[in-house]
A and B are shown apart, each in its own frame.
Chain A
Amino acid sequence: QSALTQPASVSGSPGQSITISCTGTSSDVGGYNYVSWYQQHPGKAPKVIIYDVNNRPSGVSNRFSGSKSGNTASLAISGLQAEDEADYYCSSYTSSNTYVFGTGTKVTVL
């Protein structure tokens, strides 16, 4: 299974909105509503911010939202803040009962 495809970097100014895409296949992203998104700050463990395509765990800001269309999932961050500067990874359950991560996206707050 190949890693899901994400843009290497996305940037935005404080207060703006950005979107990160995550493209897979019908065997992973397109086949199941089991896409998760993780935020990782340098030197830290990842933290889940979206699960099952569009659900936020308790305590995660509602500035983060997820969606999916076909084989592509997306993470939107609204009202961009300095603390949002981090690496973001998508992940999907697959038809082999395994998981695959995306290539990762570095978000820079200008």
Chain B
Amino acid sequence: QVQLQESGPGLVKPSGTLSLSCAVSDGSIRTTNWWSWVRQPPGGGLEWIGQISHGGDTDYSPSLKSRVSISIDQSKNQFSLKLNSVTAADTAVYFCARNSGRSIGYWGQGTLVTVSS
């Protein structure tokens, strides 16, 4: 089954840009699938950030829409997240995932990103 692995800096300065990538283990990134990012602050609940289709169509959480961008690179078997103008409130474990229909069927292990100077 597909495996997903997040990568990127674990520490980002306030007002900077958080950038993460998600490596997809199989070729499913080129087929009919949607790919999501979800985050979870320490001790908090899950928050859906957004999704991208294999063709590059995107949808974003209304609360983050002005600061977030998700892209896909089929040649590299990966998709990416950028969140700009970060504050301490953006400190969280960030999960990449593959949708299964209207649910999230496969999750990465998650990566902690801390926003601090």
- Spell out A's residues near B (CB within 8 Å): 1, 3, 32, 34, 36, 38, 40, 45-48, 51-52, 57, 89, 91, 93, 96-104
Q: Is the interface of B mostly helix, strand, loop or mixed?
A: strand
The one of A34, A52, A100 in contact with B48, judged by C-beta atoms closer than 8 angstroms, is A100
Set of chain A residues within 8 Å of B110, measured between Cβ atoms: 45
CA distance A102 to B47 in the complex (A): 9
Interface residues on B, range: 20 to 34
Q: Mark out the residues of chain B between 33 and 87 whose CB falls within 8 Å of any chain A CB in the assembled complex.
A: 36, 38, 45-48, 50-51, 59-63
CA distance A57 to B107 in the complex (A): 14
CA distance A38 to B107 in the complex (A): 11
The smallest beta-carbon distance between B94 and chain A, in angstroms, is: 11
Set of chain B residues within 8 Å of A99, measured between Cβ atoms: 36, 48, 51, 102
Which chain B residue lies CB-closest to A102?
B45
CA distance A38 to B103 in the complex (A): 10
Chain B 20-42 interface mask (CB, 8 Å, partner A; 1/0): 00000000000000001010000
Set of chain B residues within 8 Å of A57, measured between Cβ atoms: 100, 105
The smallest beta-carbon distance between A28 and chain B, in angstroms, is: 11
Set of chain A residues within 8 Å of B63, measured between Cβ atoms: 1
CA distance A47 to B95 in the complex (A): 12
